Chains A and B, each alone.
Chain A
Amino acid sequence: MSGPLPDTPADPVEDYLDRLLVTLSGSPRQVRHTLAEVEAHLHDAVAEGVAAGLPESQAQAQAVARMGPVHEVTGRGPALARPSLALGRRLALTAALVGSAGFLAVGAAGLVARVLLAAKGSAFLTAPWPSGSYTRADCTHWLAGDPGAHSCVTAMLADHAGDFLLQAAAAGLLGLIGLAAYLALRERWQDRATLTALPAGTAEALGTVLAALAALAFLGQAADTEMVQHGIGAGEPWSLGAAAAVAAVVFAVALWRVLRRSAVA
């Protein structure tokens, strides 16, 4: 059984290639190709220095100095080689993933609410405002939107339920746009520096925690509404809680897979 490799003396060429590897962006193939090109170039330059009579260590240092800073090879300027940029990108990817998942969950809650509305009616989905908190003009407005309603309260409930479904649909659309942006950015930012700027599974862990907290809050509110108001208006928190719970499970499964991959690697 072999033990850990003994410490090797500092090798400027190897150090340079390490720095280049964590800075290069592009597809894995582009990264491999550029790294292979630069490695061959540096070995040629070292061989030329040694042939000219330099000690190997000096030839290595000279080859690296002639190559110039890593950002010359990446062609993206020194700013883009800074770790803070990689961290910023990683944070943006995390926010895009968790945020779009949140909006998608609200969109899914709208679908659940639509089913609840059909099954149990608008009084189950949304609670009416307390009497005295709305005006006659409000009633006129609600009844105009629902001419078949028997009363102002019925029209109000239909209006509020419609608003919730519309807002949920808009959130779902935003979630889809956010998800598309996340996938595009993830495809574009595949450099190792960005990929390793945060521990593996950070986004999944954050998503799991936030979704679980949201699920607990909404499901708790729904249960409270069931008990205190006999179910009137419980549909909204039930649908939001169910969608958040599903999101938490999806994130948790994704986190488990990431952690298992990391353990295998």
Chain B
Amino acid sequence: MRSERLKGHLDLLLMSVLSRGPGHGYQVITRLRDRSDGAFELPEGTVYPALHRLEESGLLASAWDVVSGRRRRIYRLTAAGEAALAEQSKQWREFSGSVGRVLGTPAAKPALRPAITGLTA
């Protein structure tokens, strides 16, 4: 998926990933890639300004910890983040449902009519 399109939904995706448990930046991007079966490929550096912005908004909180011998900033969803995630998930489902209804299911291809009926047996 094009990363520009993905960036528009990055906050929702990051909050969703962190709703399954706290994690540092590398874990967040790995979970995002795994849960999308590799469909969500974006420059990994993109997650950091988004994580910092969400923390400034009070939707995430972070704390430093040592994991595998290295200092990590571990992010977790706050109560406000959980509420925002629920609201944005609801909006997304409504939106994607509406888009899906407008697009409809792929129509069955009409049977090809022989161009020259006389050639048919």
Smallest CB–CB gap between A51 and chain B, Å? Answer: 13
Complex Cα gap A223–B59 (Å): 68
A72 touches B71 (CB 8 A): no
Q: Is B106 on the interface with A (CB-CB < 8 A)?
A: no
For B26, what are the chain A residues with a Cβ–Cβ distance below 8 Å?
40-41, 44-45
A73 touches B71 (CB 8 A): no
Q: Is B76 on the interface with A (CB-CB < 8 A)?
A: no
Complex Cα gap A222–B71 (Å): 65
Smallest CB–CB gap between A44 and chain B, Å? Answer: 4
In terms of DSSP, what is the predominant structure of the interface of chain B? helix
Give a binary string over B73-117; 1 marks a CB under 8 Å from any A CB, 0 the rest.
Answer: 100000000000000000000000000000000000000000000
For B72, what are the chain A residues with a Cβ–Cβ distance below 8 Å?
37, 40
Q: Known contacts A33-B73, A44-B26, A45-B26: does B43 contact A38 (CB below 8 Å)? A: no
B48, B50, B53: which contacts A38 (Cβ < 8 A)? B48
Interface size class of chain B, counting residues whose CB lies under 8 Å from the partner chain: 10 to 19
Within 8 A of B (CB), among A1-50: 33-34, 36-38, 40-41, 43-45
Smallest CB–CB gap between B22 and chain A, Å? Answer: 14
B45 touches A72 (CB 8 A): yes
For A72, what are the chain B residues with a Cβ–Cβ distance below 8 Å?
43, 45-46, 49
Q: Is A68 on the interface with B (CB-CB < 8 A)?
A: yes
Complex Cα gap A37–B53 (Å): 15
B44 touches A68 (CB 8 A): yes
Within 8 A of A (CB), among B4-44: 24-26, 29, 42-44
Q: Known contacts A40-B72, A66-B44: does B25 contact A73 (CB below 8 Å)? A: no
Where the two chains meet, the residues of B that have a C-beta atom closer than 8 Å to any C-beta of A are 24-26, 29, 42-46, 48-50, 52-53, 70-73
Where the two chains meet, the residues of A that have a C-beta atom closer than 8 Å to any C-beta of B are 33-34, 36-38, 40-41, 43-45, 66-70, 72-75
**Shortest 5 CB-CB distances between A and B: which pairs?**
A68-B43, A75-B49, A72-B45, A73-B45, A44-B26
